[in-house]
Structure formats: structure tokens, C-alpha cells
């Protein structure tokens, strides 16, 4: 009985040892890929001579799209690594890319939506992503099936991390 428990513990430790470097690599890739996405967006903005906003701000515009959202909703939906969403929204309002209005229900809350200029930037980023889709499989050797499997894994990691925070595990 004791030998069986010891064997099970060894098997569990072996499994943890095997996944450890894979998990750390995944963490590194997530961070690096996000930064690289911002670099790709920055490059596109420079290519189309849209130098008055940065990549994070362009990604905010893209993620707002047709919606009318609060800063909190944007924060929970988006991935704004190392950025202050409220600051970037303020800058986008000042530059004329976003309009804002107090919520009718909760006067403390401000809802934002894109202006015509904001939609123009959103369309540029959408065009970039659509160009990527046209060559992703041929040039990047990344299939829809591979992307789907990756998305399942990332969604499970997201849920796992959210539970770690929510339940203080």
C-alpha cells in the first residue's frame, strides 16, 4: 500500500517536472506575442502615415468597434499590457477619435464610442488583420485547426488564472 502511494507521488512529480518548462515557455510566448502584435500594429500605422496615435490606442479603437463601452468594460475585454486605459481614452477623445457621454443610468460612468476618425483607424487595423488571414496558412504554416486548438488552451489558461484570483487559490 505504501509503495503504491510512493509510486503515485513519483508519477505526479514527474508529470509536474515535465510540464514545468512547457508552462514557463507558454508564459513567455504570451507576453512576447502581445508585444509583437503591438509592434505589427505600430509598423502598420507608420506605413499608412498614422503617427498621431500609438499601437495600444489603435488596438483600443479596434476593440471598441461598433460598441459603446465604459473604460472598465474595455479593460476586461482587451489586452492593454502596461497601459493606462483611462489615459489612452482621454488622449483619443482629445484627438477626436472617440466621443464620450455620461451614462443615462449611472452618471458616474462615461461611455465611449468611435467617431468617424476612430472608425477610419479601426478599418486600417481590420485591413491589416484581414491581410494576415490571407497568408496565415500559406506563409505562416498556421491552419484554422491549429488556431482553434491554441484558442482552447488559452481560454482554459484564462479561466484557470481567473479562478486563481477569484478564489485566492
Cell of 99: 466621443
Model pLDDT for residues 72-108, shown as the tens digit of each residue: 788 777 656 556 888 898 999 999 999 988 777 776 7
Within 48-143, residue ranges assigned H as helices are 55-64, 71-77, 85-94, 116-135
pLDDT for res 107: 66
Nearest C-alpha neighbor of 67 from the set 22, 29, 113? 113
With beta carbons less than 8 A apart as the criterion, state whether 67 and 82 touch. Answer: no
Helix, coil or strand: residue 137? coil
Residue 65 phi, psi dihedral angles, 5° rounding = 50, -130
For the stretch 37-72, pLDDT in tens is 999 999 999 999 999 999 999 999 999 999 988 877
The three cell numbers of residue 150 are 491554441
Whole-model pTM: value is 0.82
pLDDT band with cut points at 50, 70 and 90 for residue 135: very high
What is the Cα–Cα distance from 33 to 134, expressed in whole angstroms? 20
Evaluate if residue 157 carries a pLDDT over 70: yes
The answer to whether residue 139 scores a pLDDT higher than 70 is: yes
Per-residue pLDDT at 38: 94
- What's the confidence (pLDDT) of residue 2? 56
Mean pLDDT of the chain: 88
pLDDT of residue 122: 97
**CATH fold for domain 16-167:** Arc Repressor Mutant, subunit A (1.10.10)
Residue for grid cell 479562478: 163
Amino acid at each position: 500500500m505504501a509503495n503504491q502511494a510512493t509510486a503515485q507521488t513519483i508519477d505526479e512529480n514527474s508529470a509536474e517536472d515535465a510540464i514545468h518548462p512547457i508552462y514557463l515557455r507558454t508564459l513567455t510566448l504570451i507576453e512576447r506575442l502581445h508585444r509583437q502584435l503591438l509592434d505589427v500594429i505600430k509598423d502598420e500605422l507608420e506605413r499608412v502615415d498614422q503617427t498621431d496615435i500609438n499601437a495600444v490606442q489603435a488596438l483600443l479603437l479596434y476593440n471598441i468597434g461598433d460598441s459603446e463601452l465604459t473604460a472598465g468594460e474595455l479593460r476586461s475585454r482587451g489586452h492593454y499590457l502596461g497601459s493606462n486605459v483611462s489615459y489612452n481614452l482621454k488622449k483619443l477623445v482629445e484627438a477626436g477619435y472617440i466621443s464620450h457621454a455620461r451614462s443615462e443610468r449611472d452618471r458616474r460612468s462615461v461611455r465611449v464610442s468611435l467617431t468617424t476618425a476612430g472608425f477610419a483607424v479601426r478599418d486600417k487595423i481590420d485591413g491589416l488583420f484581414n491581410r494576415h488571414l490571407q497568408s496565415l496558412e500559406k506563409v505562416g504554416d498556421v491552419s484554422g485547426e491549429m488556431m482553434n486548438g491554441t484558442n482552447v488552451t488559452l481560454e482554459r489558461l484564462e479561466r484557470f488564472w481567473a479562478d486563481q484570483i477569484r478564489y485566492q487559490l
